[in-house]
Amino acid sequence: MEARVKISHFTHKQKTVGDNFVRKSFATNILGSEAVSQHNIALFLLDDEIRFNDRQNIVQHWASSLPVINRSGELLFTGPSISRIFRTAKSIFKPYYDFLVATSYFKHAMPLKAIAIFALFNIANIQATFSVNKACKISYLPNFVMCSEIYDFPHDYPLINNYTVINEKIHGERLSEKTRKGCDSLTSGRKPEREIRRGFPATQVVTKVTEMVLNECAARLGVSLRQTEDTLISTMLASTASFINCVGGVNGDNPTEITRSDVDTVVRALLNNNAYTVLDNIEGEDRFGTAPVRDAYFALCSTQLTGSGGLDSVTGFIQKTQYPSPMNSLRSEWGSIGNLRFLVSSIGSYTPNASNLGANVYNIFCTGIEAYAYIEQDGYSASFIYRPPIYDGPLALNASVGYKFAQVPRITNDLWVINLRATLAV
């Protein structure tokens, strides 16, 4: 994400500079911030081998899927050449797809003349983030978009915008080029790159996965993973943790809706059991509509308990927007009552039809610090597994991604976690 911000900043400056590439490149590094210049030089130091190897791949895929005039074999792209700066991608490629327009810009490397100019600024302590995709081959298209970003961002402002959008899909680092190990995990084509960068020891480049399909899969799998963990923990707690029914309500059910007396009961029980609170208090401030927040245990519950039928109606409820410093609230937090701060989740635990009247019973897990744990088995936590197409079959058609984990949720001290059961107000 760091790269996206910088590039965006850069392009805004670039827009005012002019259309001539050399002038733009030069002027940008003069008029732009030092960080932009540093970024520029860092990007250039990457190996041409990457893009040329990738170019061969993308030609194969485009030919079978997307309409494009393929001029990949032209001399224009055979090596670093200052002539590139006089060619615009739109005059060479005439793709029908915006991404291909962007991709075509990848062919234009930074001119040597410009490099020399950049070098005059004697860049040090470069910390730039850029994206390559050597390890991810579900689709090559976004890969090249990112290569375009690397080499061509001074060229065309509208295309840079495309890059920015794509970059927002960056979710995690796959290969770190900060370490030798990370470099060695790449193909041999990266070796010259390393050698070049050794000449600039202060240069740091972080490689990130920019594969759109893979990133989206990873994002969804990440959500699935965490939700699975949450579900397993809450199910374990619902299966075995001691509970206290809410009894202070007036809905005629057993348990009743949650009330302040029920909160006080469970807090008192945790205190009597010597459970430590999880969060510190939030001191009061002289602000309208706010109130100090006590140090608190976590209360993990379902989003169904929000609103007037649940937490919001409880005496002493403080919505997190009413905290003296809302920045201290958690994203999933709904508010606090007494010494409980309620975190809600759409997959919060409930036992269907388990009340006296057959209503859903919502499990509110009130927990002190270190009340339960997740034990990793076999020495590992969750693993994200990506298998490139080469393992799929002789034609290397399909990749696969997935996750696995071997973890066991356990209560570490049953006195420090209590299931406060409640129904909704009618």
Partner 1 sequence: MTGTTIFTGVFVSVGGSTTISLPFGADWIEVWNGTNIDGNVANGGRYWYQAWNNGINIINGQGLELQGNAGATAVNYIAGPVGAFSLTNTSTAVPGAPVALTAISNAAPPVVATGSTVGLSTNNGVVEIINTTGAQQLGGMTFSVGTVIGNTSFTLKYMPAIVAGTNGFYRIIPFDPIFYPRRRFITAITTGATTQIRMSVDTTYTVGQLVRVVVPAAYGSISQNINGLTGTIQSIVTATNTVTVDINSTGMGTFTFPLTAAVPFTQAQLSPVGSDAPDAGETSNTLLDATLNTAIAGITLQGGTLDSPGGQNGDVIYWRAGSTFQDTGNVYLGGTGVF
Interacting residues toward partner 1 by CB under 8 A: 61, 64-66, 138-141, 213, 232, 235-236, 238-247, 249, 253-256, 352-358, 361, 373, 375, 392-393, 397-398, 400, 408-414
Provide the minimum distance between the beta carbon of 407 and partner 1 in the complex, in angstroms, as a whole number. 10
Residue 157 or 243 with smaller CB distance to partner 1: 243
Query: Which residues, at least 6 apart from 305, have a Cβ–Cβ distance to it below 8 Å?
Result: 258, 311, 342, 344, 348, 362, 364, 422, 424
Provide the minimum distance between the beta carbon of 241 and partner 1 in the complex, in angstroms, as a whole number. 7
DSSP string, 9-33: HHHHHHHTT-S-HHHHHHHHHHHS-
Residue 185 or 231 with smaller CB distance to partner 1: 231
Provide the minimum distance between the beta carbon of 49 and partner 1 in the complex, in angstroms, as a whole number. 24
Structure tokens at 113: 């003349």
Distance CA 343, CA 341 (A): 7
Provide the minimum distance between the beta carbon of 223 and partner 1 in the complex, in angstroms, as a whole number. 18
Residue 255 or 338 with smaller CB distance to partner 1: 255
Residue 92 or 238 with smaller CB distance to partner 1: 238
Specify whether the backbone of 364 is left (phi greater than 0), alpha (psi in -120 to 50) or beta: beta
Query: Tokens 């002289």 appear where?
Result: 286
DSSP string, 208-228: E---HHHHHHHHHHHHHHHHH
Provide the minimum distance between the beta carbon of 218 and partner 1 in the complex, in angstroms, as a whole number. 14
Distance CA 68, CA 94 (A): 7
Provide the minimum distance between the beta carbon of 9 and partner 1 in the complex, in angstroms, as a whole number. 31
Residue 65 or 281 with smaller CB distance to partner 1: 65
Residue 291 or 415 with smaller CB distance to partner 1: 415
Provide the minimum distance between the beta carbon of 398 and partner 1 in the complex, in angstroms, as a whole number. 6
Q: How do strand 372-376 and strand 204-208 relate by DSSP bridges?
A: unpaired
Query: Tokens 């910088």 appear where?
Result: 6
Task: Give the 3-state secondary structure of residue 384.
Answer: strand
Q: How do strand 361-367 and strand 350-351 relate by DSSP bridges?
A: antiparallel
Residue 196 or 232 with smaller CB distance to partner 1: 232
Distance CA 154, CA 24 (A): 7
DSSP 8-state symbol, 164: H
